[in-house]
């Protein structure tokens, strides 16, 4: 008598009968892959916020989602057991803090480097990955409540690398109660400009 993973038992088929567990299992009883609601929700939100624009930047950051009132992490007290998307309309009392420990930075950097190394192999059958690690110092100048003008300079040489006006279109917070960090997806517009064409007050650095 065989045992299944739920602690019950499965009677072995009589001699001459076909074992029903020897055939490949369908992805569902409809023989279709179940829809991933999480991925669809993120994709639909990005499409809704971006409205077909072609100057969109989609940015994902690790950190923690905090309660604005208490400064404590939201994930442990929302009553959810798995990674969950927060309805943006219900996130008005939340703020995202992008911070990682040195250990977390090291782990993610090593994972990224390993993946890049794996994908550059000539035998790798899928899309290649590449990244550029550049240290820059950013100066921000206020435009309005939703946009800033950013001047990025190479930290070593002081040479201007990029000047853009960045406008935030929306944020989507994802809480992960089983992990040490949460994450946030941001959709922004980016318009490259000449640094001399914009005036404003410096807000932070």
Residue range 157-179, pLDDT digits in tens: 888 888 888 899 999 999 999 99
Cα 69 to the chain's mean position, in Å?
A: 25
Phi then psi dihedrals of residue 32, to 5 deg = -130, 150
| Mean predicted confidence (pLDDT) in 52-78 | 92
SS3 185: strand
Bridging pattern class, strands 56-67 and 84-85? unpaired
Question: How far apart are alpha carbons 68 and 62 in whole angstroms?
Answer: 18
Tens of pLDDT, residues 127-161: 888 777 778 888 888 767 677 888 888 888 888 88
pLDDT for res 175: 96
Where is pLDDT greater, at 110 or 19? 110
What's the confidence (pLDDT) of residue 161? 81
Q: What is the pLDDT of residues 32-41, one digit of tens each?
A: 888 899 999 9
Tell me what pLDDT residue 71 has: 93
How long is the chain? 205
pLDDT in tens, 109-134: 899 889 888 888 888 888 888 777 77
Burial state string for 161-176 with b = 16 or more CB within 10 A and e = fewer than 16: eebbbbbebebbbbbb
pLDDT at res. 202: 44
Alpha helices in 51-177 (DSSP H): 102-119
């Amino acid at each position: 008598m065989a045992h299944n993973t739920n602690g019950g038992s499965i009677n072995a088929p009589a001699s001459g009968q076909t074992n029903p567990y020897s055939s490949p299992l369908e992805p569902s009883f409809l023989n279709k892959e179940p829809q991933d609601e999480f991925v669809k929700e993120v994709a639909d939100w990005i499409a809704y916020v971006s409205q077909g624009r072609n100057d969109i930047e989609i940015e994902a950051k690790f950190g923690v989602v905090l309660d604005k009132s208490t400064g404590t992490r939201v994930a442990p007290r929302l009553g959810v057991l798995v990674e969950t998307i927060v309805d943006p309309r219900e996130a008005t009392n939340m703020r995202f803090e992008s911070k990682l420990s040195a250990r977390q930075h090291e782990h993610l950097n090593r994972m990224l480097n390993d993946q890049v190394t794996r994908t550059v192999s000539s035998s790798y059958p899928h899309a290649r990955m590449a990244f550029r690690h550049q240290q820059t110092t950013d100066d921000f100048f206020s435009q309005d409540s939703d946009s800033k003008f950013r001047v990025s300079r190479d930290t070593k040489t002081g040479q201007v690398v990029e000047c853009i006006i960045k406008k935030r279109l929306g944020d989507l917070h994802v809480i992960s109660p089983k992990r040490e960090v949460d994450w946030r997806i941001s959709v922004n517009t980016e318009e490259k400009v000449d640094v001399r064409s914009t005036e404003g007050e410096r807000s932070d650095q």
